[in-house]
Chains A and B, each alone.
Chain A
Amino acid sequence: MNALAARRRHPAAIALLLMLALVVTGGLYAAFAPKPAAAAAVTADQVEQGKALFQSNCASCHGLNAEGNETEVGDLKAFGPSLVGSGAAAVHFQMETGRMPLASAGVQAPRVNKVKFEETEIEAIAAYVASLGPGPARPDEEWLDWEGQGDAGRGGTIYRSNCAMCHSSAAVGGALTRGKYAPTLAGVEEVHIYEAMLTGPQNMPVFNDMNLTPEDKRDVIAYVKQMQETGNPGGLGLGGYGPASEGMFAWIFGLGIMIGAAVWLGQKGA
């Protein structure tokens, strides 16, 4: 202790302390920083196959090496973002919901029910994109098990303060600016809901694991799924648009049948 105290003003001491602080900070960061989930066993073959598929199907917009591409012809601007760091989850979400490859230029890529690729092909492209740089990987099964482990009540609270302002409290979607929109969540698979939160496709913000933990995401999925399972206990749901469709219904059908009844009764003399 004395020896250490005697050398505390040694010129090297400050450098040593600095080194120590850096090691500690770095070590703590490495220990606690969110890690991209390890990609499922990916073979070199898969990456090769994915690259080939990518170059023939995606490269026209995203560039031959997924570095992104912007072309301008007159007023038309085509923009394919760089996919370095997008991760397997983004590829999986975009392609499995039919959004990519983009069918036509528009304000945003719509969900298309007819998926254009086989599952194995999508896996391969995802593996290729994941190999370009670290990015969010596909979620573990554990985080999708909303039926077994999800807490819908908690998920609803998270949903209302984070999701409802765009997707609406009934999860039927809503309008954004300039023709863009938040799509409905009806019929969306749990894995895609999870991946959408994780990667923030199109206009959606990213809800990474620091914002919403995997448990939070699972609870949100549980809420959305539970709500959809309940359906409409009151009868026809009128699209879930609330007073908008109710008002129209009252004016068109409600008033229509009331006037019909009045005319019918008015014709009945004594």
Chain B
Amino acid sequence: MKAFRSMVLVSSDPLSIERGANEVYQKLQQEIKSYDLQDEISLTMVGDVGRHDSSPMVIVYPEAVVYGPVKAEDVHTIVEEHLYKGRIASSFQAPTRELTGRIAWLSARKGTLPAEQRIVLERAGLIDPDSIDDYIIHDGYQALVTTLTTLKPNDVYETLEKAGLRGRGGAGFPTGSKWKFVAKAPGDKKYVICNADESEPGTFKDRLILEGDPHAIIEAMAIAAYAVGADEGYIYIRGEYELAQKRLVHAIGQAYEMGFLGENLMGSGFNFELHVHSGAGAYICGEETALIESIEGKRGEPRARPPYPTTHGLWGKPSLVNNVETLANVPPILRHGPDWYRSFGTPSSPGTKVYTILGNVNVTGLIEVPMGITLREVIAIYAKGMKNDAAFKLAQTGGSSGSVIPASMQDTPMDFDSFSKAGVALGSGALLICAEDTCVIDLARVLLNFFRKESCGKCNPCRIGTQRIYEILTNISEGTGKMQDLNDLMSLSDNLYQLSNCGLGQTAGAPVRDILNYFRAEVEAHIRLKVCPTGICPMSGKKI
């Protein structure tokens, strides 16, 4: 690898591109060339850098100076001042505040921020996602080559079992066991499927991995295929993620050329073919059996289970379905070993978790931290406190299907077991932090509106239950609720949980159950006093 004096990164998340990141990149190329600096300075278009307030951003290492929002006409001065003369062009710097992401990690080493621990996002935002060479230089495909040349399939899933890796899609199922089930399932044709249908509101961690480090998923899927005995794989990616799709297709082409995909990999006799399959806009397709139906060209309606996909999946064959973040953990575990992995997180939930921080806080964005961090820490340290110093009222975790967590529970460690003991769900890693002026009825109504629209309609408890809860919440928000409604809400959410066919319906009642548990007084005020304490609900008595 050539040694460079400076590294210049340009953010390329969808918003940066919309705001002209491509033009900035081209201009940088020209300017660097015009100063004859191209051999001293590397220029890379990276993915999402985990910060969105000043996009597009230009980041210059090793100083870790962040410029943003950068316009094409600013580039000349930045190059002349910073790269040519070596002075920071401070007038173009992004607003100074604590940063998240890798940038934060770098400044953390100067002692300002507690360090994040980046395992799955190790490379995202630092390497050129369109360059397989960049990936290989940064330990890429090392785990695949070692696996194919030195490990037997059972060594692979046993290593994952030892590492204690659990699925990061939300349910937390032990990954090693799932791989073992598929490996032991009878059949000579098997599939591995990557669930990249990330649609849980407030979650964009998988997009960041796919856009910033697409080869990591390709490598992990090839390892998975080898471990379970599959020779074909699908990456099912949501239709809205156009940039991620483009990057993946490009990366897969490169991997075929370099012999990391295709036939007889590393002379091991192992073949692996990988396809990208785009979704078409349906939250339910993140449910693994609905996803399989969708790949088969049908409506995304979940199947009855059992049989599980591990024995009867795509086209009726044994299939391994894993979330993007789960897969991204696999190559590092194989490279460094299970003991290294267990040194992060808690004993029952080792490793790290990627969280997206959203809502009424000072800094929104994305962090990867060890399992077991608490909400209080997240808000204070990474989110830099509540906006306008408002009081923290509740957090909605894990997207719509997670839980509503009141401020009183903000010291519960966020790992799978502590959360399930406390009766709440960790879910996908979205943390929607709400201030005191959030109305719980309004919030629950928005969540149920989501479920009633996204319910596939196959089973009655979900199709009718989500609609009925939405109607009752609407009545309450308009001041026409009755006390009997509260009993109805409880029994509806119980029915949803017990009778629905899949996870969508089973979790749809959770927000209602949680607000009745933790915010009953506020709910009753809407009904008994006809008052919305935060003044958000219309309470008009008629439809708005």
Q: Do A and B come from one complex?
A: no
Interface residues, chain A, with chain B CB atoms under 8 Å away: none
